Structure 1
Amino acid sequence: MELTKDDRTLRKPSPTPTPSHRALPWLVAVGLVLTALNLRPAISGVGPVLAEVRDDLGMGGTVAGLLTSLPALCFGVFGFAAPRLARRFGPVAVVLAGLTAIAAGLAVRSLAGSTALFLVTTTVALAGIAVGNVLMPVLARRYFPDRLGTITGLYSMAFALGAASAAALTIPLTALANDSWRAGLAFWAAAAAVAVVPWLAVLLSARRRERATGPAAPPPPAPADEPAAPRLVRSRTAWALALFFGLQATAAYIIIGWAPQIFRDAGVSAGSAGLMLAVIMGLGAPLGFVLPRVATRLRHQGPLVVTLGVCGLAGYAGLWLAPAGGAWVWAVLLGLANCAFPVAITMIGMRARTGAGVARLSAFAQSAGYLMCIPGPLLVGTLNDLTGGWHAPLAFMTVLMVAQIAAGVAAGRDRCVEDGE
């Protein structure tokens, strides 16, 4: 992976380290955690107040479904630009710009008086999130090559905590502001603004060190053993991974966007529905540490994929039969099913033999997967509008989960894309 000028400068030893240079790793670690905390509230914070947003802005079910599909669209489209922007400006500067876009987009979104402006400002925030998604692993590897597992674990936990916090706290924050959903959502803009501070300090420190040490040596040439793009396009394993990634993302965004509404339509209070979404999202924090270790110890990850998929199917059945009566149980089952994400990421790392191959496979599987999952949440909203209930959407979600299990079993085979599989 090519190093930027900022990264090469930061790695070049200084003859007389200053306190600011010695504090740099701490600043980067704090920046990574704060960034991860802010990469999901823009999404998970909307679900608990979606009914109020729709009533206030006159938003129909189909448009609300489009809102739940926007994350996948933005992640697939804007994520492509992140590596090129990082090569030109440096990953720190790009993440800083992304956080600024998140803060600005969420702040203006809370003031939106129309559905169109709400969607546009949400897109701005999601564009910032997209570059953060792509560059977080890059920053962790470059600044903490010897502590990659620890740092990755920290920010993975922060992902889940950020999503769960937004789901749990948006309703209480709204209540504190005289039942204003605008104030409840505006809080997350302020949180994103706080995350800008450590990266600004890192960027300024890098500029000072560059002036003090001069230009660094050029990076070594990129390895030539990575699988070429045409080989990935022809690889059944690569496509199985992309399909599995896309279907698990589809399930996750459907649940994030629609589960609170399903619970509320069944008679669950808004506050409890928000807490249930927090449970769904929060389970990803502890299990994000455990499941990758389990996956790497299995020669075939199919049994793990099936286990998580069955949890999802059981949760959907519960929402069909007794959505309010066993709501907390269904929330736990759906939270377990949503933990397919760390399994998918782990399998991507296991299906290629070289670091360069993993990077290429990751870009292919994630970009294709996110683009695949765009129609799912939109169709759920449309089906709810057409039928006036949740049985048809749940049947559709069940079909998708069965397909997810099949794709995951295929992707979990002990094969590598370098073998032409």
Structure 2
Amino acid sequence: MENTRTKSRPAFWLMFSIVLIALNLRPSMAAVGPLLSAIRGDIALSFSLASLLTMLPVMTMGLAMFFGLRVSQRLGEQRTVLLSLLIIGVATFSRLFLDSAAELILSAMLAGIGIALIQALMPVLIKSRFSDNVALCMGLYVTSIMGGAAIAASFAPLVMVSTGSWRIGLAIWAGLAVVALLIWSVQRAAMPASPSKLVRQRSFFANGRAWLLAVFFGLGTASYTCVLAWLAPYYVEKGWSEQQAGLLLGFLTAMEMLSGLLTPAIANRSRDRRVVLMVLLVLIMAGFCGLILSPHNLSLLWPCLLGLGIGGLFPMSLIVSLDHLDNPQSAGGLTAFVQGIGYLIAGLSPLLAGMIRDSLGSFEWAWWSLTGVMAVMMLMALRFNPRHYARHIH
């Protein structure tokens, strides 16, 4: 009994550290939307240009995914996480001193590099260290990512109002990186080192199933990034205050957290994830239709449906990718490819939605477009039959 308790203690602290690290992976983007009207009042930003604040870090994350695993193999898990948190912290804190759109966008891209290094590493680390509970631990990790978004979206407007500065509302989240750095530094001494030998990464560019998984992840994440960027400005245009719109986005991300925890636990009962994926996609479609047709009536229901759908779809897309391969390094290489291509696809959605808003004067057509995308994803999800995984990826 004592021996089991001794073994479980480092695992608990490792998971706790992963949770704290994951909290840092979205505030640099999530804090922007609720403060956008204040930022645009101080810095000249069209909606198309403002979309770059979400688009470019996501695209940077996609590109950085392709070398993220190589960096972690060279530096080791511990030093890679330290470097990534340092990059995120510096990029976020630098927003205290920004005076132009270019500087704001550059800070977002720098944060994107740090985020990508961590997100390339974490599926490998979780599959190797928590091999008996991959789905549950991935759910906890992804839920924490969304938790960071919820905290930033909800409290950034309050920080701005209390301090009178949107820059502080954006920069204060560097404190999360400091906390995660300290906890990771303390616990990593107790964490047994994993083999740091360089493993030649397999290329998935010629594999059709890898591309299907990547496009599925990218289209699902497109709904997440678009909602993250434009839900708050959409409701501000409908007459809500920045604080009300920020709290609504915070409520949506809280629903994402709830779904991110519950959905993998439910899906863990069966290796066939298709029914769960279908339910999640229907929830997202219903949420977008509600935003378009009745944004003021039942205004909490539509973000609730969107949050439950998006929050479950994000971890499930990665879990389905991890299901295809048993070896942690190979599965990590596949998820890095899936995230790399996926984030490049997802990064375009805020820009396209911003362009639609600039040209048509409304976000409604962006929501309709994403509803159609979810319908296409339902057809793609039907192909994820676990009995055929070995045939598609050996």
Whether these two folds match at TM > 0.5 is yes
Asked if structure 2 preserves the Cα contact closer than 8 Å seen for 1:263 and 1:324, the reply is no
Aligned to 2:308: 336
Alignment of 1:131-280 (within 5 A): 131-140=117-126, 152=138, 154-178=140-164, 180-202=165-187, 205=189, 229=203, 233-235=206-208, 237-280=209-252
Q: Quote the offset at 1:366 in angstroms.
A: 1.8
Which residue matches 2:367?
394
Q: For 2:375 and 2:222, locate their aligned partners in 1 and report how far apart those are by CA, in whole Å.
A: 13
Deviates more, 1:21-30 or 1:338-347: 21-30
Q: Residues 92 and 202 of structure 1 are in contact (CA less than 8 Å); yes or no, is this contact kept in structure 2?
A: no
Q: Matched residues in 2 for 1:108 and 1:101: separation?
A: 11
Work out the CA distance in 1 between the residues paired with 2:77 and 2:357.
41
Distance in 2, Cα, partners of 1:378 & 1:254? 9
Q: 1:385 is matched with which residue: 349, 358, 379?
A: 358
Q: CA deviation at 1:330?
A: 0.9
**Which residue of structure 1 lines up, in the alignment, with residue 321 of structure 2?**
348
Q: Structure 2 CA distance, aligned partners of 1:88 and 1:110?
A: 33
Cα distance in structure 2, aligned partners of 1:144 and 1:295:
17
Q: Which runs of 5+ in 1 are unaligned?
A: 1-20, 211-215
**CA shift for structure 1 position 114:** 0.2
The offset of 1:23, in angstroms, is 8.2
| Equivalent-residue separation in structure 2 for 1:147 and 1:343 (angstroms) | 14
Comparing 29-38 with 340-349, greater Cα deviation is found at 29-38
Shift of 1:107: 1.1
Q: What amino acid is the match of 2:331?
A: V
**2:281 equivalent in structure 1:** 309
Matches within 5 A, 1:27-46: 28-46=14-32
Mark the runs of 5 or more structure 2 residues left unpaired by the alignment: 1-6
On the 8 A contact 1:264/1:273 being kept in 2, the answer is yes
Give a deviation string over 1:168-192, Cα, whole Å, max 9, x none: 11111111112x2111112101221
Q: CA deviation at 1:233?
A: 2.3
Give how far 1:156 is off. Answer: 3.5
Give 2:360's aligned amino acid: T
Q: After the TM superposition, which of the residue ranges 300-309 and 80-89 deviates more from structure 2? A: 300-309
Query: What code does the residue aligned with 1:130 have?
Result: A
- Cα displacement string for residues 137-185 of structure 1 (whole angstroms, at most 9, x for unaligned residues): 344455566776775554343222211111111111111112x211111
Q: RMSD of the alignment, in Å?
A: 3.0
- How many residue pairs match? The answer is 387
Partner Cα distance (2:245, 2:352) in 1: 22
Matches within 5 A, 1:120-135: 120-135=106-121
TM norm structure 2: 0.88
Q: Select the residue among 101, 106, 114 that pairs with 2:92.
A: 106
Preserved contact between residue 348 and residue 358 of structure 1 (Cα < 8 Å): yes
- Percent sequence identity over aligned pairs: 30
Indicate the residue corresponding to 1:327 in structure 2.
299
| Greater Cα shift, 393-402 or 188-197 | 393-402
* Match of residue 265 from structure 2: 293
The answer for the alignment partner of 2:79 in structure 1 is: 93
- 8 Å contact from structure 1 (residues 247, 369) kept in 2: yes
Change (3 A) 1:412 1:90: same
**CA distance 1:381–1:143, change in 2 (3 Å):** same
Q: For the pair shown, which has the larger CA radius of gyration, 1 or 2?
A: 1
Task: Return the letter of the residue paired with 2:314.
Answer: F
CA distance in 1, matches of 2:39, 2:385: 41
Residue 200 of structure 1 deviates from its aligned partner by 3.2
1:70 and 2:56 equivalent?
A: yes
CA contact (8 A) 1:295 1:347 kept: no
